[in-house]
Structures are given as structure tokens and as C-alpha cells.
Structure 1
Amino acid sequence: MKQASVQAHAKINLTLDVTGRRPNGYHDVCMVMQSIGIHDIVTVSTGTGTQDIELTISHCDLPADSSNLAYRAAQLFLHTMNQPSDGIHIHIEKHNPIAAGLAGGSTDAAAVLVLLNTLYQTGLTQEQLMEMGLKLGADVPFCIAGGTMLSEGIGEILTPLPDAPQAFVVLCKPPVAVSTPAIYKAIDDVEIAKRPDTPAMLDALRRGDLQAVSRQLYNVMQPITAQMHPEIDDICRTMQEQGALHAIMSGSGPTVFGLFADKQQAEQAKQLLAQTYQEVFLTDFCRAGQIKQG
């Protein structure tokens, strides 16, 4: 039996713009994506002798069957590589928030592809793994590569960007459920009044200017989601009152993140929000090559 583990990091959207809708229903986006320090630990064992795929998950009650993206990643890998299974066991030690707009499922699937490529010594390049991962979801290729990237198309066109200037990141997930398809449908029915200034964000990243990066944070989905769940805007205000350079929602929500230059202010914001919300985290940015050996 062989075994290996990696850290599977969450992501946030520094910017998120929806630029169009395709005839097949998919939406074109333009967003700057950033890996962050909080992560699951994904361990894969091969050669268990069962010829089956088995998935176990700790710290949560997610389904551990073929509806889970990590399980489907193993199926896809075996099928694509024409690799007979000698028994695969996947264990996810879950720390990333679930259904949070942070690519928690996508990053676990990405980790499974990376680990199986290593354990079966199939020699796929990162680009080939990313191409495979796209079949599972638009965020999976980014989760394989990590770091700071411009994401276009439906999320599959990725351009590496300079590393974001380091910041303290406070995340807060309110206890509400957000349907991503419902948010996209709502966006189709309104005229987007404000959009992120992507060129200005790219310039701020090139200059390594955290203040400028913070000023350019914007997510076109936030007004839609916050109309349904006003606590999202409340959390943003609280973070900024506690010293955040700026705070916005990530993805389709509901998680809000704030960028802080001062660690003490970030810790105070976390403590204050934790009095009301259960899922509050303090972390930082994570560089490219985010899936790291555990």
C-alpha cells in the first residue's frame, strides 16, 4: 500500500465580475482569485486491495459517496488514465468551511488528482491535471495551481499574476445557505450597476501595494446575495470598523473576508465576530503551488 497527503487550500475572490451568459447557460466571468492559508488535509492510499474507491471525512457530515467531488475526482482519474483500481482510500480532514464560496469541494478534488498522479507515477504535468480537473468544475484547475491568478472564460482561462502583497485575512461565514445558480439567475435579471476595475487591480498587484489592492476589491454578486442575506453587508461594516482596509464577499457567498495590514486589529475583529458567528477564521495569503505535501 502507498500513501501520501497534501494540504488543500481554500480560495477567495479579490474581484469577481460576470461579463456574459452563454447559450448553454454557463456564464463568462473575469475574476482575480487568491489562495489562502486555511486548508483541508487530504490523504490518499492506493493498493488497499479492495478494488473500490472509499472516502472518509472527519469534522463534518458531508456525503462520502459518488456525489462528493473528491470521490468523482478519483473516478475521473482512473477512467482518463485507463488505470485499474487496486483499491483507493481517500480521507479528508475537513477544516475549510462548507458551501462557503471558498472552493472547499474543488480544492479537495484537486488534491485527489495531484495525489493519484504521484502515487500511480503517471507523470502528468500540472497543465494536464488542470485540464482533467476542469471536467469536475471551473474552480478545480485554479485549486491545482494556486497562488494569485486572473480567471476568465467560465473560469478555465487562467493567467498567473504577481503574488499578492501579504495581508492578514479575516473570514466570517454567516449560517445561511446560498444557491449559486439562484445568484447567477438573479444577475441575469438585473443590470449590473458597478463592476470591478480589473486593470487597476492588476496594476496594484504588480506594484505590490496592499492599500491599492484593498481599494480594488469588488464582487458583483454581493449586492444580489446581500439583498437576500443582509448580515453579509453587516459583517463587512464590522470588519471595516475594526480596521480592515476593505471587506467583501467571496464567490456567490455567504463568506465575507476582510484584509488587514495590522495583525492585532485582525485578531480583535475575529474575536468580535466570533461572539456572533461560529465560523470565523484568521489566515493569510498562500503562494502558487498551493497543494503542498503534508
Structure 2
Amino acid sequence: MSPSTRSDAVHVRAPGKINLGLVVGRRQEDGFHPLATVFQAVSAYEDVTAHPAESGVTVTVSGLHADRVPTGEQNLAVRAARLLAESTGVEAAVRLHIRKGVPVAGGMAGGSADAAATLVACDTLWRTGLSRDDLAELGAALGSDVPFPLAGQTAIGRGRGDLLTPAMSRGEYHWALALQDTGLSTPEVFGVFDELIAGAVVDDPQADRTLMQALRAGDAAELGRALRNDLQPAALELAPHLAETLAVAQDAGALGVVVSGSGPTVAALGRSRQHALAIAAAVTAAGVADDVLCVTGPVAGARLSGGAEMLASAGTPGDRG
């Protein structure tokens, strides 16, 4: 198919995530750790626009932390487009633009959301006709977190986090996110985790039952008490100032506070949207974050949006505190 016969630009929005529970197993011989994690997709979004091109894959970036995003071959969106083209036999020809709303290296899978959105956008632009399961399989080859932004909502991730099972969840949850300008390296966090636990972990981690019961009941208070992240001590070892961020959010009455994924984003659960805004204001006043963002979850996974409705049709963006 020549570029002149392809459709016009395609817009896709994909969500970032919070790890409500992250249970980490012992490092395996392949270097990876088995995980049992509970993902919740939240209303901090990555917007990817795929434009027809004569040849090649290029990417430009704007929005949150845009200056920290590589635009060469190491960019996950570029890799996603190339992988889709290679897998389907089409020419890799697309001009991508990413509008970021998810922190870079913040433990919220912003790069993975870019890859997920790019897979959907290029599949539509190039009319390759793959199913979501097919796209998720390609996504898993790019990174363990890529399949989840395709699915969204709430899910349990097993294996490396890429084997997803939808989780029953009731209600809407309101979060204040404390963001840091300096990210944390996921491999480095796992390395410190290995040093700290000294082998005192299981080989077959399981999702926390109390947390899952709280989600099924829609009980925000119980969910707050059940939040868990086995990587949090390692993140605090590398970024000790996060302890103060956690403390300020707790003092502001958060139902629960947790470092998301490998950090350094701190997620504080509020009783309501207004309470989440109040927590964000307290964090800002204390000067313990470089930025704050209020989001809700769960939200849908990567999906097409059109024209002027690109930002509005996929839900309400996060409110800055």
C-alpha cells in the first residue's frame, strides 16, 4: 500500500498505571524476577498521533518531561512501529508525535503507554488488521509493561507482569500523584531490591487477597490499607527524600500511600476527588515533590480518538494541583 492510499493521521490515547500491589519473587537465572502485580490504569495519558509518511519512522515529543524522552531508535514508540511493520510485512513508514502526560521514569509505564498507543495507531494507519491479543503479544516483546496499557482498567499481571488477567473492581478511585523531575532506573531499583532482601522471598508470588477483596467491594479505605510495593524499600534507598513525600501525604489524611512501581512517583489515595486535590495541595506546600497530578482510575486502555475530540473523548485529563 502506498502512502497516498493510506488514511489520514490516526490519534490514540493510552493510560499510565499505578501498581496497587507489587509482590516480587526471587531473581531467576534469566535475570528477571517473577511478579504478581495489580495494575490500575489512571487518567494520566499519553497521546500518540501517527501521520502517513513516505518512508522511515520518526518521532517528536511534547508535554511532560518531553526533553527527557529519546527520539532515536531506542524510543519505545519507534521500536513498536518497526516491530509491527516487520511482523506484518508492511513498509515502516510513519511520522509519530507523542504528547506526554505520564512522568518519564516515574514507575507509571509512560514509555509502555507510548508503545501501546503506537501499535494501535499504526495498525489502524497501515490497516494491518491485528487483534488486540496480537498487539499485546507484540507489546510483550517490547517490554513487560506494554500489554497493560492496551487493556487498561484493572488487571493482575503475572510472570514479568505481561501475563494479564482482568480483575473485578468496583467504584472509582481518586489519587494524588507526587512527581519528581529525577527518575529512577528500573534495573537499578531491582538490583538494590536483590541486595536488601538477601534471598528472603518466594519463587511464586501471589496477588494480595485483601487487596483484591477491597477492589471487588469497592472499599477505598480497605484498598488504601492494602496497598503494597515490594520495591518501595529499594526506591527509598536510592531516593531517601521520598520518605518525606510519603509522610506528608499520610499526614494529609490519605487512605493509603505507595511508591508506584519502581518509583519515584508517590501515589496517595484520597476519599474523593476533592480530598485528592487537598492532598496534592499539602504536598505542594511542603515542597516534597517537583509537581503534582490528580487522577482517577480505573480507565479504559488504548483507544482511537478523532480530530478535535482527541483530548476530550477519552475522559477527563488529570488535574494539576
- TM-score class, shorter-chain normalisation, is over 0.9
Letter in 2 for 1:66: E
TM-superposed deviation, 1:278: 2.5
Give yes or no for contact 1:9–1:291 (8 Å, CA) kept in 2.
no
SS at 1:240's partner residue? helix
1:172, 1:256 within 8 Å by CA — same for their partners in 2? yes
Establish whether residue 71 from structure 1 lines up as the match of residue 78 from structure 2: yes
Task: Name the structure 2 match of 1:215.
Answer: 225
- 8 A Cα contact 2:14 2:301, kept in partner: no
Of the three residues 36, 45, 61, the one matched with 1:39 is 45
Quick check: 1:19 aligned with 2:22? no
Following superposition, the deviation at residue 193 of structure 1 comes to: 8.2
In the superposition, relative to structure 1, how do residues 175 and 38 fare at CA in structure 2: closer, same or farther (>3 Å)? same
- The alignment partner of 2:147 has SS state of helix
The separation in 2 between residues aligned to 1:82 and 1:21, in whole angstroms, is 37
Is 2:301 the partner of 1:289? Answer: yes
Distance in 1 (CA, whole Å) between partners of 2:169 and 2:266 is: 21
Residue in 2 that maps onto 1:131: 137
The equivalent of 1:82 in structure 2 is 89
Q: What is the Cα deviation at residue 39 of structure 1?
A: 0.7
Correspondence for 1:58:
62
Match for residue 202 of structure 1 among 202, 206, 212 = 212
Alignment check: 8 A CA contact 2:34 2:158 kept: yes
CA–CA separation in structure 1 for the residues paired with 2:304 and 2:247:
34
The whole-number CA distance in structure 1 between the counterparts of 2:115 and 2:207 is 31
Q: Secondary structure at the match of 1:27?
A: coil
Q: Letter of the 2:167 partner, please give it.
A: L
Aligned to 1:189: 195
Alpha-carbon distance between aligned partners in 1 of 2:14 and 2:141, rounded to the nearest angstrom = 19
Task: Give the 3-state SS of the residue equivalent to 2:34 in structure 1.
Answer: strand
Q: Distance in 2 between matches of 1:103 and 1:129?
A: 17
- Asked if structure 2 preserves the Cα contact closer than 8 Å seen for 1:8 and 1:292, the reply is no
* Aligned twin of 1:106: 112
Given that 1:197 and 1:216 are in contact with CA atoms closer than 8 Å, whether structure 2 keeps it comes out as no
Aligned to 2:238: 228
- Distance in 1 (CA, whole Å) between partners of 2:97 and 2:209 is 41
Unaligned runs of 5+ in 2: 1-5, 311-321
Secondary structure of 1:189's partner? Answer: helix
How far apart are the structure 2 equivalents of 1:140 and 1:29? 15
Q: Distance in 1 between matches of 2:189 and 2:104?
A: 18
- 1:235 and 1:11 map into 2 onto residues whose CA distance is 19
Give per-residue Cα distances to partners, 1:193-223, cap 9 Å, x unaligned. 8998611111221222211111110101111
How far has the Cα of 1:233 moved from its partner?
1.9
For residue 227 of structure 1, report the CA deviation from its aligned partner: 2.4
Deviation, structure 1 residue 224: 1.6
Distance 1:289 1:252 in 2: 21
Shift of 1:36: 0.4
Cα distance, 1:177 vs. partner? Answer: 3.4
The percent of aligned pairs where both chains have the same amino acid is 33
Partner of 2:168: 162
Letter in 2 for 1:107: A
Q: Secondary structure at the match of 2:263?
A: coil
Q: 1: CA distance between counterparts of 2:201 and 2:249?
A: 24
> Any idea what SS the aligned residue of 2:74 has?
coil
Cα RMSD, aligned residues only:
1.9
**Which SS does the other structure have where 1:238 is aligned?**
helix
Return the alpha-carbon distance in structure 2 between the equivalents of residues 196 and 175 of structure 1: 32
The alpha-carbon distance between structure 1 residues 152 and 196, as it changes in their structure 2 partners (threshold 3 A), is closer
Contact 1:16 1:218 in 2 (8 A): yes
Indicate if the aligned counterparts of 1:148 and 1:288 stay in contact, CA closer than 8 A.
Answer: no
Q: In 2, are the aligned partners of 1:177 and 1:254 still within 8 Å (CA)?
A: yes
Most deviating of 240-249 and 57-66: 57-66
Mind listing any 5+ residue stretches in structure 1 that lack a counterpart?
A: none
Give the residue type in structure 2 aligned to 1:148: T
Displacement after TM superposition at 1:240 (Å): 1.6
Number of residue equivalences: 291
Match of 2:271 in 1: 261
